[in-house]
Structure 1
């Protein structure tokens, strides 16, 4: 891994896919040209309002995706790594919430389909992603010249089993496009992000849409960059905002030397217990 500049773009997402794409491109250019970012991140479902009917309306096949082609073009134009949040990906009879990592040549080098579906049905709230979306079934880790990067999406953060598997892949940086709501956001967003950073002794970059009033779904915002100590390096608020920081190899190395939990794990015990179940 080497030191590099990262920018997280907490952006306004509106009910117009074309406008969202153009707006994302403008933010990416700003991150690259003004802040000299080597890696730029976008929010979960950055090209569509967060609701099942809009997922269907705005879904695209990967091979003919206007959204994805635009992101590949801007990554190549600016010569940056781009984690372009997530988008609704269509495949035959299934629909996925999919995150992509694109390299400076405009090539897709990583793809993660949201593994855990956010399905709740209570007296106060009902939302079932599985009514529309299908779950992914893979751990996504990519080796890059910047470092080893793993991808997870929003609700995936609540399942440490997945993060343990990503950590086993020697992950340096976790990129988490997410869109917690106004109930779970103030309760758990910061705590979970910091916990996963501390657990895995790696950077966690969580990028949310901003808090835009709309009739569909209002995201919590509060995008965050957390270092391997669990320290909040940068944090957004409700409105659109860009967070920029230097990701440092020395910080990761220092944490892992001072508290060597990754070395001290007892996989001989954990794996034996799993096999004997």
Structure 2
């Protein structure tokens, strides 16, 4: 299976962003990618003060367009994420489409990005977003995928639940910044792949130094052994790589981490 990542430049113009996504999806498909991934908040700037302005539901312009291009090209698409408008509030949501343009799943970001690194960055998604509460595993003809969003990647419990649910590929649309990105992005992608003996795919926006929130870029794929398969730089780019799903089973058989787990001793006991 060939997988593609569209590391696109995100602007303040939603229609332009959607158009850029379509162009890059077409390029990835022309290179043979059958599963294509977009970055977090690909329709709008990553700014808590703007999410409500750009929010739309699954019947809105952005997701309708993504469904159409998936159907036209006959590809599966993880449409990064958008601010999803619902009666209860706005979620950071990733929609997944099959090759017929049908929505076959969605992940609502479970862990909201509320951090404060003095002198570096402060950000509070919870000021404008509400958190999802589900582990997302989706079966497709190509693979079984687990989907998380950005900050979700920092919590190994979520990735482990996806792996235990059958995921062979973990997919994280994300937007790490210039503080956390250089320090942790590559390490986390490799770690989640290594921990769960599966492929880990992380799709970032391209770096825009003039944006209010500057994404790190460096979209990448790591394999079940924890090695980097491919990695972009910071600029707009489409990267593709062939995924060997037999390697997942082969490595899990040779080094049976999941089978050798001891959940009977993992519960917290005070005084121990």
- TM-score category by the smaller chain? over 0.9
User: Is 2:25 aligned against 1:28?
Assistant: yes
Deviations 1:8-43 (A, max 9, x none): 11111111000000110011111112x111101000
User: Is 2:237 aligned against 1:238?
Assistant: no
- Among residues 249, 253, 259, which one is paired with 2:249 in the alignment? 253
Q: CA deviation at 1:250?
A: 2.3
In the aligned structure 1, how far is the partner of 2:223 from the partner of 2:117?
35
User: Is 2:188 aligned against 1:192?
Assistant: yes
Q: Which has the higher helix share?
A: 1
| Structure 2 counterpart of 1:211 | 207
> Across the two proteins, how many residue pairs are aligned to each other?
270
| Distance change >3 Å, CA 164–CA 276, structure 1 → 2 | farther
| Structure 1 counterpart of 2:160 | 164
In the aligned structure 2, how far is the partner of 1:121 from the partner of 1:183?
11
User: Is 2:54 aligned against 1:68?
Assistant: no
User: Is 2:112 aligned against 1:117?
Assistant: yes
CA RMSD of aligned residues (A): 1.5
Instruction: Note the residue ranges of structure 2 that are not aligned, 5 or more in a row.
Output: none
1:225 match: secondary structure: strand
User: Is 2:3 aligned against 1:6?
Assistant: yes
Deviations 1:48-104 (A, max 9, x none): 010012211100022x31000000000000000000100000101411100011000
2:132 match: secondary structure: coil
Normalization by structure 1: what TM-score? 0.94
Q: CA deviation at 1:275?
A: 9.8
Moved over 3 A (4+): 274-277
In the aligned structure 1, how far is the partner of 2:90 from the partner of 2:210?
23
In the aligned structure 2, how far is the partner of 1:163 from the partner of 1:48?
26
Normalization by structure 2: what TM-score? 0.96
Q: CA deviation at 1:156?
A: 0.4
- Among residues 37, 46, 52, which one is paired with 1:50 in the alignment? 46
Q: CA deviation at 1:267?
A: 2.7
| Structure 1 counterpart of 2:198 | 202
In the aligned structure 1, how far is the partner of 2:48 from the partner of 2:174?
16
| Structure 1 counterpart of 2:86 | 91
Q: CA deviation at 1:265?
A: 1.0
In the aligned structure 1, how far is the partner of 2:147 from the partner of 2:241?
19
In the aligned structure 2, how far is the partner of 1:167 from the partner of 1:87?
25
In the aligned structure 2, how far is the partner of 1:275 from the partner of 1:80?
48
Q: CA deviation at 1:268?
A: 3.4
In the aligned structure 2, how far is the partner of 1:67 from the partner of 1:49?
14
